[in-house]
Structure 1
């Protein structure tokens, strides 16, 4: 991995008026200023302004500790250090083939005297052009362990901003986003809740990060609060106080009455505030990745972007089942599947998987996911049983060796699926054997799942023990040269820079939720995707799911809008989620899915507004082919696309996949048109997007 960096002197970066503050550190371009001060009574606080406008008013920092009580006052500054860092690093995969990491840093060392011992606590600030971040550092000291009851980081907003949010929940992010003023969060909270196998919403004023906001001024600013580098620490929510317009960090409890137990030395995750006067800057910033450590893997040659299909959507639609029999409430260790009567609806059969392999291989895909291949699916959902799956034993009608051999003979691989049913101890007991089985048969990617309440009982998906588990699974997978796509795990916070075998997560409401509003896909890139790629599973061509099951509803999208998602929602892991027979009926539109890459050298967000629309253009890695995608909410709109990102003087052929004039996400979702046009960097195209629709363009040089 190439890296170029420099530490520069602090001249002109920071000013200190006196011992204890205030201190000020600016972004490299000078537009963003962060102030730090230890105020009266020894209370550490910060504030921030952008282009002369205050964006975070005075906000206090600290903790509530089991042993030491409130660590929010009584501090004295013992030292401070300033520096500037500028590097360019090359990701293993990503939206860009190189990332600039340029910031100015302030480290403040503090001490508080207590009755028993001095407590040492540092605060580190990093200020980028597109935002700032801070974290707490507990240096090595006499106290070797701290038990955290609350983290009290505050973010004082300067007005009743418009926000796009999901409810605070210790177990799930599978919600649609609500657009409201900050003052309306509590009033809209109940309506924002949806059913889930495991959900633990905890306060009517609580929301999750990434939180997207827009100020209401004549020249609005776009703000986003998130966290980065979540390691060995609970996930952070935000609890809003309407009377003070202030968010306070709200951690996920560990099941034992505490939030976290840390051993010194220790650094918390970064608390991040992104800011810009352009919505597209929020989409393009790499600040979350930049706040994570460099890649720790010596060899990354085995990590590769992947386009895949799967035996999955037919279970989601009700066409088939994950399970093999109608048995339930049994002991997996003693149940004899060879004597069980199959119910005839099992999807992961040898013959059916071969059918998928043939189609995926014939159309240039890399892998095929197979869910429901292993024993245990009869007795898993919501059962809260420790031992449901062993992750190595296939059903009688799934020939694991023959199918892997068949896939390899066709030039593709099978993708493993590990559903844990929320039983962390059981997965950890079986993980080594499960990864070894993958190595034996040539799997190099796993989709892991954590559906249901977490075991041990009383634990949450986003608590400190579970955060440790998710990262441990990634590290152990790397030892086996396995890529991980974790579903129902904690939202990503940029750790894919450090562990690039983390190629995907779900951690949001994805395609399987069929009733979501069209605007959902115009918000996710501003929120969930800021921390890392999502396995959204796009590419649905048949929206009428009632054809499979009478209780299924119509999916509110258009074919052209589904194609656009491969560009607007970045991921190195992209699925063509629909059934092969539906693609066979629309092979002309399917061509875009076959062509579109999953790794890029350049990405440009051409125009966007959260909750309304996004238009993005990306250049394929290692070439000069470009792909453009646009999506809209439930409002039809025309957008203007300038091709100025193309290389001047080169002629290209563009293939446009657009909504037909009468297309509509509700009444005519399958209507699309395909046209070709010669374009150059001077071309400007006006494109219509239907309600809940979009467009996609492939652009290749004319040879």
Structure 2
């Protein structure tokens, strides 16, 4: 990964260790001096901080520390030994992403603390303040006083200054697949979501929220709380104290032990992050989360090519076909074809070739195949799922070698699928064999899944055990030149910078809920909310492109709650380096909107967020890497909207053919969702375009450079 214009200025500033604790405070400013972080120690040696934005307090007096097992809590009687300051101003390049060049400019303060008690335990706190927010983390240095830390609780406070408008999902220890609620901070009630009918594995032990969580103050300032660089630690939820207007870190635990994290020294925790933005759109523009991660550790990743893909997936959610073949398990524990298969299996050689042919003809680079390997007969409803999948043995009607050959001949890559059924021991044992098989057939991308309760029993998807498992899979995959798209994952925390083979993940309530959720699927305000919440964490595999909005004839009680134009706009709005044309291939036949899917890019030189408000609407335009073509997506909630968009983002002195895919005059997400109007114009950067979005609708535009 190339670095450009690196400028690191060390401002070593050592404070004498003989300083008194009383009233000690240190300030750290953002490079533009609009954000000020103040670190302090109270008279009894308790560390804390405050944050101001343009002289207005946004985070009031907030305290820091740990409750540790087998020893005293690390919260009081601390003194400052010394501090270090530095400024970093660099530009690094993404091998793939929303943009090529990423500016990483911050001021840093490291505070070295030591207890005044006989224990003399030491703790460092690292602060980095950017123009768009800040991050801080704890570091336990090597020391004779401690060799190991067992964390019962982490005491990290975020003390709010008002009853802010909040967009949140419950602090679930297993899933992020909840709808967002919009309430005042004091109206957050995560426990009411505990028994959601479509979320069987939900575990919400107390009133807390998952991150990213986005808030808007009465004065219109936007805040988003999250974490960065989650390695060998437990995921963080934020516990809600309504009386004190306080978020406090609540780490995900385990039923197998009474602690949240166990680490040997030295180690650093993940960064605790606060994005601060005067406009909602600035939240999307921010690269704070990736900037707080370490640089690329695996080097060249040109073997992964961002792509669009189709696949054997949606038809199973519709009930047209099944994941399982219909085999039986004999007395030896082996899967047998008894000749009584039900005939509804989706991952057949013939069916997959249809998807390969369609992809090859429509500028789509990959085909995902779910249900190809044995074991699907027992993956749901069985407590003991260890050993049911082996990730190398196909069903009798799936010719893996022939399909790999056929796909290569057509210039299409098969995307491997590994549904682990959350049986982590089985997957750990078979990762090498599974990745070796992929390497043999030239497959560079895998979609992994973790549906169900975690095995070993008592662990949760977002605890330290699983954080290590997910990250281990990514690190090992890199050795085999495999990129990972994880579903039912831990949250994205920017590790795609360090391991660029961590390409995308689910981690939200996805498109499949529209096909089978008993509550009617995702409402029209879902994705305009996701853009300002979940998407701040990183790429999303949302699987857009459903043209058969009413899901006929398969699901008469479900539908996709958007217009067709919005489904096209999602290819630009919801970022991922892999984007699925998720519908059945027959539903794209004779559909003029397919042209946008054929044309739209997936790897971008730059991105500009034109407008947006959380939960209401958003408009984003992106320039495709290497072509200079631009693509625009705009989506709205249940309310119709009109915008006039300046085209000043286009290249000067260049003509473009704009092809506009818009909601027809009578379009409506429920009443007339497929009404699509297509128009072509010649434009340049001096012009503008008026957008008209229907309720639940959108607009997608391709700006293709005219031939000179």
TM-score (normalised: structure 1):
0.96
- The reply to whether residue 151 of structure 1 matches residue 157 of structure 2 is no
* Alpha-carbon shift at residue 343 of structure 1 (Å): 0.2
* Alpha-carbon shift at residue 299 of structure 1 (Å): 2.5
Please state whether the residue corresponding to 1:504 is helix, strand or coil: strand
Runs of 4+ in 1 over 6 A off after TM superposition: 11-18
Please state whether the residue corresponding to 1:657 is helix, strand or coil: strand
Aligned to 2:319: 318
Aligned to 1:265: 266
Matches within 5 A, 1:414-563: 414-514=414-514, 515-550=521-556, 552-563=557-568
Please state whether the residue corresponding to 1:359 is helix, strand or coil: helix
Aligned to 1:200: 203
In 1, the alpha carbon distance for the partners of 2:609 and 2:261 equals 38
Aligned to 1:5: 6
* Alpha-carbon shift at residue 17 of structure 1 (Å): 14
* Alpha-carbon shift at residue 585 of structure 1 (Å): 3.2
- The reply to whether residue 337 of structure 1 matches residue 340 of structure 2 is no
In 2, the alpha carbon distance for the partners of 1:276 and 1:106 equals 22
In 2, the alpha carbon distance for the partners of 1:52 and 1:512 equals 45
- The reply to whether residue 381 of structure 1 matches residue 380 of structure 2 is yes
Relative to structure 2, which stretch is displaced further, 164-173 or 576-585? 576-585
* Alpha-carbon shift at residue 654 of structure 1 (Å): 0.5
Among 113, 133, 136, the alignment partner of 2:135 is 133
* Equivalent residues of 1:543, 1:669 under 8 A apart: yes
* Equivalent residues of 1:13, 1:104 under 8 A apart: no
Cα shift readout 1:409-437 (whole Å, capped 9, x = no counterpart): 11111110000001101110111111111
Structure 1 residues 683, 90: CA separation in 2 closer, same or farther (over 3 Å shift)? same
Cα shift readout 1:438-472 (whole Å, capped 9, x = no counterpart): 11122111000000000000000001011011111
Structure 1 residues 109, 416: CA separation in 2 closer, same or farther (over 3 Å shift)? same
Aligned to 1:369: 368
Structure 1 residues 256, 658: CA separation in 2 closer, same or farther (over 3 Å shift)? same
- The reply to whether residue 249 of structure 1 matches residue 249 of structure 2 is yes
Structure 1 residues 103, 382: CA separation in 2 closer, same or farther (over 3 Å shift)? farther
Cα shift readout 1:653-690 (whole Å, capped 9, x = no counterpart): 10000000100110111100100011111212221111
* Alpha-carbon shift at residue 196 of structure 1 (Å): 1.5
Cα shift readout 1:516-568 (whole Å, capped 9, x = no counterpart): 11111111121112221010000000011241144x41211111000000111
In 2, the alpha carbon distance for the partners of 1:460 and 1:95 equals 31
Aligned to 2:579: 574
In 2, the alpha carbon distance for the partners of 1:438 and 1:222 equals 44
In 2, the alpha carbon distance for the partners of 1:187 and 1:170 equals 12
* Alpha-carbon shift at residue 623 of structure 1 (Å): 2.4
* Alpha-carbon shift at residue 188 of structure 1 (Å): 8.1
Please state whether the residue corresponding to 1:547 is helix, strand or coil: coil
Q: Which runs of 5+ in 1 are unaligned?
A: none
* Equivalent residues of 1:197, 1:453 under 8 A apart: no
- The reply to whether residue 402 of structure 1 matches residue 402 of structure 2 is yes
In 2, the alpha carbon distance for the partners of 1:301 and 1:636 equals 42
Structure 1 residues 426, 652: CA separation in 2 closer, same or farther (over 3 Å shift)? same
Q: Over aligned residue pairs, what C-alpha RMSD do you find?
A: 1.9
Aligned to 2:690: 686
Please state whether the residue corresponding to 1:59 is helix, strand or coil: strand
Structure 1 residues 511, 332: CA separation in 2 closer, same or farther (over 3 Å shift)? farther
In 1, the alpha carbon distance for the partners of 2:184 and 2:690 equals 33
Please state whether the residue corresponding to 2:73 is helix, strand or coil: strand
- The reply to whether residue 605 of structure 1 matches residue 628 of structure 2 is no
Cα shift readout 1:556-597 (whole Å, capped 9, x = no counterpart): 1111000000111111111110011111131x1011011101
Cα shift readout 1:481-503 (whole Å, capped 9, x = no counterpart): 01110100101100000000111
In 2, the alpha carbon distance for the partners of 1:119 and 1:11 equals 24
In 1, the alpha carbon distance for the partners of 2:331 and 2:427 equals 15
Cα shift readout 1:362-390 (whole Å, capped 9, x = no counterpart): 11211100000000001001323222101
Q: Which runs of 5+ in 2 are unaligned?
A: 515-520
- The reply to whether residue 675 of structure 1 matches residue 676 of structure 2 is no
Aligned to 1:309: 310
* Equivalent residues of 1:289, 1:494 under 8 A apart: yes
* Equivalent residues of 1:332, 1:388 under 8 A apart: no
Aligned to 2:285: 284
Please state whether the residue corresponding to 1:67 is helix, strand or coil: coil
Aligned to 2:706: 702
In 2, the alpha carbon distance for the partners of 1:15 and 1:128 equals 27
* Equivalent residues of 1:628, 1:696 under 8 A apart: yes
Structure 1 residues 87, 382: CA separation in 2 closer, same or farther (over 3 Å shift)? farther
* Alpha-carbon shift at residue 192 of structure 1 (Å): 9.1
Please state whether the residue corresponding to 1:611 is helix, strand or coil: coil
Aligned to 1:107: 110
